[in-house]
Each structure stands twice: as C-alpha cells, then as structure tokens.
Amino acid sequence: MKAKVYVTLKNGVLDPQGAAIMGALHSLGQKAVVDVRQGKFFEIELSGLSKAEAEKSVKEMSEKLLANTVIEQYRIEIEA
C-alpha cells in the first residue's frame, strides 16, 4: 500500500526559493510564469494496515514530522 503526501507552504508564508525558481524560469524564456511555490513530496510504502488505519497513521506522520504545521499544510493520497 502506498501513501503519497504533498507538503506545501501555507498562503502568506514567504517563499524565497519559489521566487528564485521563478526568476530562473523567466531566464529560460517562460515569461508566462507569475508565481512559483516549492513544496515537498513523500512516498511511503506501508504494509499490514487497512486503508482506514493507513489514513490515520499517515495523518499522524504528517502532523508530527512530515509537515511543520506553523508554515505548511499537507494532502494525503492512499493507493491500495
């Protein structure tokens, strides 16, 4: 069973790395880019859990470690 966790910055948190990436995209000629926010992606392989148990566990992992909830939010996808 695979869990995918997407961790992104909350709105209002300054993202200078995203800004630097946007500058680089503009240098590549991609002038249509108006904003870039950089986030993190985790793939977690689980075994021996039901889908409901997996959701509960991965939520706890996200709250306690994968995301710093002062500045980040997360989204979980579970694939059986």
Partner 1 sequence: MKVGIVVFPGSNCDADCHHVVSAVFGQEARYLWHRETSLGDVDAVIVPGGFSYGDYLRCGAIAKFSPLMTAVKAFAQKGGPVLGICNGFQILTEAGLLPGVLIRNQKLKFICDTVGLSIENARTPFTSRAAKGAVYRMPIAHMEGNYFTSPDGLKKLEDGEQIVFRYVTNPNGSLTDIAGVCNEKGNVVGLMPHPERVCEMMLNGTDGRVVFESLFG
Subset of 8-37 contacting partner 1 (CB under 8 A): 13-14, 16-17, 20
Per-residue x/- mask for partner 1, residues 35 to 74, rule CB under 8 A? ------------------------------xx-x-xx---
The helix or strand, by DSSP H or E, that contains position 24, with its residue range, turns out to be: helix 16-27
Q: Is 3 in the site for partner 1 (CB under 8 A)?
A: no
CA dihedral 20, 65, 60, 54 (to 10 degrees): 80
E strand segments, the chain: 2-9, 40-45, 72-79
Return residues touching partner 1 (CB under 8 A): 13-14, 16-17, 20, 65-66, 68, 70-71
